[in-house]
Amino acid sequence: MDVEKIRNDFPFFSEQDQLVYFDNACSTLKPAKVLDAMSEYDRLYSTCGGRSINRLGEWVTEAVSGSRKSIASFIGASKPEEVVFVRNTTEAINLLAYSLSLSAGDVVLTSDKEHNSNLVPWQQKSLREGIVHQVVGTDADGKLDMEAYQKQLSSGRVKLVAMVWVSNLDGVSFPVSEVVEMAHRHGALVFLDAAQAAPHHDIDVSKLGVDFLAFSGHKLCGPSGIGVLYGKEEAICQLKPFMTGGSTVETATYDDHKLLQYPAMFEAGTQDYSGIIGLSSAVRYVQDIGMENIHEHVTKLNVRATEGLLSIPNLSIIGPATADLRGGILSFNIKNTDIHEIAIVLDRSAGIMVRSGAHCVHSWYHSRDIFGSVRASFYFYNTLSEVDKFVESVESISSLYS
Ligand SMILES: Cc1ncc(COP(=O)(O)O)c(C=O)c1O
């Protein structure tokens, strides 16, 4: 992989080459190809799809249908109709939480490392509908407690397992094939939060057999405000619509209406067409780079960064010390040093962008009595020399405060 050549694809680097962007788990940068695809829609075809049969309307309808096909193929869906466009992973999970019919007392099982987006909607469903939300623990290396998982499934009350694939907290991946297979054996449906997996891994939903999966465009070089809920045919047809209105019905009278089939039933109102077009362009772009190449490169960066940081006294890493178990994520604390101060000094003194805080996984930090962490997250356009600069800067910050 030629990183220098790849960087030329990103306008960001020609304009802000002095900045080091290590906040990729939050949002990634966008290549010119994606920006151009979106701007082509805005400049030349700026109308709605699925309605008007004039030539502009037809162009948009075709573009949306082509995007749906590209995304279905990106995740290995057996039909484009299994792909529902939503705003982001958060909206996908809310759609699922509102639309999946469960009874009071049914259990929804998550891990103890879920992003608030895969926690709060289930807590809300519990308040609204009396479902029971239960949590499976993880160990100090971020690994799912498979014995506890098996035990909870054995109760026979678990109707949905809703779990993160790659954690945004420590970068650790759960063994999703096993998670899905065990849940199905006990009659539970499975939703996977692939917000951090989709940017780094080959996804094959058909092979995995997962029922639902979601990801966001802005974490894989696409636009913000667009994401995907995948629903396997047998699973998605169990969902009731969440938002209804224009584009969700075949016809309506003053008294009644006839809903369209999925995915249209879940895509109410005028859609984010430029986002949908941008997302498929992004997906093609990362596929051209190659998901394996991406994974290999970010792991190489993480190994180098981890080796450097581990030599700093009083610095601790969240999750396993072995970098190749943490993909592109490196979360750390330095004893007696404020995490936000570290992030601010990295930015102001070295132009390095990281994130500090609880990374929307407040529940995990509260349970461990930890305030938060500093998180550096890498992507395929980052370089080893940026990593070296980052390590040097963290070293000098730590010596200032020790
Ligand atoms: C694991 C995980 N799940 C869900 C989300 C929510 O994504 P979005 O804000 O795009 O809805 C994120 C975002 O950081 C995430 O990392």
Ligand 1 center to residue 41 CA distance, Å? 27
Q: Copy the structure tokens of residue 52.
A: 């008007």
Ligand 1 center to residue 89 CA distance, Å? 6
Residue 302 contacts residue 282 (beta carbons within 8 Å): no
Ligand 1 center to residue 249 CA distance, Å? 30
**pLDDT at residue 50 in the model:** 87
State how far the alpha carbon of 188 is from the alpha carbons of 183, 297, 385, in Å: 5, 36, 47
Task: List the alpha helices (DSSP H) in 45-104.
Answer: 55-75, 89-99
Maximum Cα–Cα distance across the chain: 72
Atom of ligand 1 nearest to the CA of 224: 10
What Rg do the C-alpha atoms of the chain give, in angstroms? Answer: 22
Atom of ligand 1 nearest to the CA of 227: 10
Told to judge if 360 belongs to the known catalytic residues of this protein, a careful annotator would answer yes
CB proximity list for 367: less than 8 A, separation 6 or greater: 112
Residue 224 contacts residue 208 (beta carbons within 8 Å): no
Structural domains in the chain, CATH included, are 3-28+290-401 (3.90.1150.10), 34-288 (3.40.640.10)
How far apart CA 76 and CA 70 sit, in angstroms, is: 10
Ligand 1 center to residue 294 CA distance, Å? 19
User: How do strand 257-259 and strand 158-164 relate by DSSP bridges?
Assistant: unpaired
DSSP 330: E
How far apart CA 91 and CA 102 sit, in angstroms, is: 19
**Residue 196 in contact with ligand 1 by CB distance below 6 A:** yes
Backbone phi and psi for residue 304, each to the nearest 5 degrees, phi listed first: -65, -45
Ligand 1 center to residue 216 CA distance, Å? 7
How far apart CA 268 and CA 260 sit, in angstroms, is: 11
How far apart CA 82 and CA 17 sit, in angstroms, is: 40
Q: Which residues of 380-397 are buried (b: 16+ CB within 10 A; e: fewer)?
A: bbbeeebbebbbebbbeb
**Residue 28 in contact with ligand 1 by CB distance below 6 A:** no
**Residue 168 in contact with ligand 1 by CB distance below 6 A:** yes
**pLDDT at residue 402 in the model:** 67
Q: Whose CA is nearest to atom 16 of ligand 1?
A: 168
**Residue 377 in contact with ligand 1 by CB distance below 6 A:** no
Residue 100 contacts residue 126 (beta carbons within 8 Å): no
Ligand 1 center to residue 297 CA distance, Å? 22
State how far the alpha carbon of 71 is from the alpha carbons of 129, 200, 272, 303, in Å: 33, 15, 15, 31
pLDDT in tens for each of the 402 residues of the chain?
899 999 999 999 999 879 999 999 999 999 999 999 999 999 999 889 988 899 999 999 999 999 999 999 999 999 999 999 999 999 999 999 999 999 999 999 999 999 999 999 999 999 999 999 999 999 999 999 999 999 999 999 999 999 999 999 999 999 999 999 999 999 999 999 999 999 999 999 999 999 999 999 999 999 999 999 999 999 999 999 999 999 999 999 999 999 999 999 999 999 999 999 999 999 999 999 999 999 999 999 999 999 999 999 999 999 999 999 999 999 999 999 999 999 999 999 999 999 999 999 999 999 999 999 999 999 999 999 999 999 999 999 999 876
Q: Copy the structure tokens of residue 217.
A: 């465009």
**Residue 152 in contact with ligand 1 by CB distance below 6 A:** no
Strand-pairing partners, residue 215, are 228
Q: Whose CA is nearest to atom 14 of ligand 1?
A: 26
- 3-class DSSP state of 128: helix
Residue 191 contacts residue 93 (beta carbons within 8 Å): yes
How far apart CA 39 and CA 365 sit, in angstroms, is: 41
**Pocket-testing residue among 360, 361, 375, 379, ligand 1, by greatest number of atoms within 8 A of Cβ:** 360
- 3-class DSSP state of 305: helix
- 3-class DSSP state of 227: strand
How far apart CA 69 and CA 202 sit, in angstroms, is: 17
- Residue 215's H or E segment, with its range, is strand 212-216
Burial class (CB in 10 A: 0-12, 13-18, 19+), 96: buried
**pLDDT at residue 373 in the model:** 97
Number of H helices, E strands in the chain: 15, 15
Atom of ligand 1 nearest to the CA of 360: 14
Q: How many C-beta neighbours within 10 Å does residue 143 have? A: 16
Atom of ligand 1 nearest to the CA of 165: 1
User: How do strand 189-193 and strand 212-216 relate by DSSP bridges?
Assistant: parallel
**Residue 89 in contact with ligand 1 by CB distance below 6 A:** yes
- 3-class DSSP state of 16: coil
State how far the alpha carbon of 73 is from the alpha carbons of 85, 211, 284, 331, in Å: 15, 16, 10, 33
